[in-house]
């Protein structure tokens, strides 16, 4: 077996977190993957991985070899892609993690457009709001909506994510329209549950000063689309990103309130591990998404 194949198997073991996981990813018998690792360590004359009953840990030599292997394999992939590109085509696979609702609503159509432009690029897409370990699970790229606290990742901002407070006309006619943030304490509120404290809403007031308000949460859910439907049905006040509610607001099914306040502002970021050199495919996809989402997001434009 050539050196590149040994490198590919070793990288797969590290990123899968186990020999069995690497075997499944590569479509090889577990015994074959274990044997190739032993052959690699024997050839190098060092131990690359410390084996325990629960997990595999890289030795210092293993970490150094992993980082160099990732770079070398990326260079090889880049060289092959460059030759393909010279003949007019990007080729190969991309494993991409996308946030569930934002991905389905706004990124999926762009991915399909990219696939039409590059028919030889294969995709494996994971639509999920869980925080994915990109390296361990073998992802080339993820799009995250966050303030991007994880400094171990490289990132490129694709779009701003702005929140608004809104309710149905029927709810406001029955319960009144809040005039200041403190009024929210007397309203039924609908909250997104995949945050640290769903009942604590932060804002910047008309005077520019930051503030927080504790709201009574009548309904908490991990689905923004479900919360939006509940708000349209008149169940309470809703704080959600504009990419969910822009059509409902424009159609009059929801009414924006306290619009002189600035609610949480996040970003949609393309993120990737710093140890992984960007292949031409990954770079092309990031550039494509950034180009399509450049400027003011279409979901924030008023008709």
pLDDT the model gives residue 213: 94
Give me the tens of pLDDT residue by residue for the chain, a chain 303 residues long: 578 888 888 888 888 888 888 888 888 888 888 888 888 888 888 888 887 666 778 888 888 888 888 878 877 776 766 665 555 678 888 999 999 999 999 999 999 999 999 999 999 999 998 888 887 777 889 999 987 665 566 889 999 999 999 999 999 999 999 999 999 999 999 999 988 899 999 999 999 899 999 999 999 999 999 999 999 999 999 999 999 999 999 999 999 999 999 998 899 999 987 765 677 889 999 999 999 999 889 898 765
pLDDT the model gives residue 278: 72
Q: Tell the burial category of 22 from Cβ atoms under 10 Å away from its Cβ (0-12, 13-18, 19+).
A: buried
pLDDT the model gives residue 92: 83
pLDDT the model gives residue 246: 94
Token pair, residue 69, equals 């292997």
Domain boundary among 64, 84, 104: 84
pLDDT the model gives residue 34: 87
Q: Tell the burial category of 12 from Cβ atoms under 10 Å away from its Cβ (0-12, 13-18, 19+).
A: buried
Token pair, residue 56, equals 């595999």
CA-based nearest residue to 127, from 114, 139, 136, 117: 139
DSSP character string of 194-253: SSS-TTEEEEE-TTS-EEEEE--EEEEES-HHHHHHHHHTT--EEEEEHHHHHHHHHTTS
Domain match, 15 and 51 both: yes
Domain count, the chain: 3
pLDDT the model gives residue 150: 54
pLDDT the model gives residue 147: 79
Cα separation, 165 vs 257, whole angstroms: 6
Cα separation, 241 vs 222, whole angstroms: 14
Domain match, 127 and 274 both: yes
Domain match, 173 and 256 both: yes
pLDDT the model gives residue 235: 97
Domain match, 70 and 219 both: no
Domain match, 101 and 50 both: no
Residue 258: CB atoms within 10 A of its CB come to: 22
Say whether pTM exceeds 0.75.
no
Are 102 and 270 spatial neighbours (Cβ–Cβ below 8 Å)? no
- Strands 154-167 and 265-272, by their bridges, are antiparallel
Domain match, 150 and 28 both: no
Token pair, residue 282, equals 């990954």
pLDDT the model gives residue 151: 57
Q: List the CATH number of the domain containing 295.
A: 3.40.190.10
Domain match, 146 and 129 both: yes
Domain match, 77 and 96 both: no
Domain match, 188 and 255 both: yes
Which position has the token pair 């946030």? 99
pLDDT the model gives residue 118: 92
Domain boundary among 38, 64, 84: 84
> 3-class DSSP state for residue 68?
helix
Cα separation, 143 vs 106, whole angstroms: 12
Q: Which domain holds residue 21?
A: 3-84
Domain match, 95 and 240 both: no
Domain boundary among 84, 108, 137: 84
Domain match, 70 and 107 both: no
Domain match, 201 and 233 both: yes
Q: List the CATH number of the domain containing 76.
A: 1.10.10.10
pLDDT the model gives residue 275: 60
């Amino acid at each position: 077996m050539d050196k590149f194949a040994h490198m590919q198997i070793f990288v797969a073991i590290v990123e899968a977190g186990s020999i069995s996981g690497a075997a499944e990813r590569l479509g090889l018998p577990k015994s074959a993957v274990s044997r190739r690792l032993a052959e690699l360590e024997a050839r190098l004359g060092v131990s690359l991985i410390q084996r325990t009953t629960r997990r595999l840990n890289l030795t210092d030599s293993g970490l150094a070899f992993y980082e160099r292997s990732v770079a070398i394999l990326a260079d090889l992939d880049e060289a092959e892609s460059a030759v393909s590109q010279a003949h007019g085509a990007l080729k190969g696979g991309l494993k991409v993690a996308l946030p569930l609702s934002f991905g389905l609503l706004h990124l999926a159509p762009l991915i399909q457009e990219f696939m039409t432009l590059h028919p030889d690029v294969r995709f494996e897409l994971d639509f999920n709001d869980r925080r994915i370990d990109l390296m361990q699970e073998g992802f080339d790229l993820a799009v995250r909506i966050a303030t991007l606290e994880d400094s171990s990742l490289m990132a490129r901002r694709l779009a701003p994510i702005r929140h608004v407070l809104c309710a149905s006309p029927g709810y406001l006619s029955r319960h009144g329209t809040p005039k200041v943030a403190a009024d929210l304490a007397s309203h039924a509120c609908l909250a997104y549950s995949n945050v640290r404290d769903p009942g604590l809403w932060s804002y910047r007031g008309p005077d520019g000063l930051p503030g927080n308000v504790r709201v009574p949460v009548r309904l908490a859910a991990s689905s923004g689309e479900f919360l939006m439907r509940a708000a349209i049905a008149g169940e309470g006040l809703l704080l959600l990103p504009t990419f969910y509610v822009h059509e409902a607001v424009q159609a009059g099914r929801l009414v924006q309130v306290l619009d002189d306040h600035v609610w949480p502002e996040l970003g949609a970021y393309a993120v990737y591990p710093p140890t992984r050199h960007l292949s031409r495919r990954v770079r092309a996809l990031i550039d494509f998404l950034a180009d399509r989402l450049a400027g003011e997001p279409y979901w924030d434009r008023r008709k």
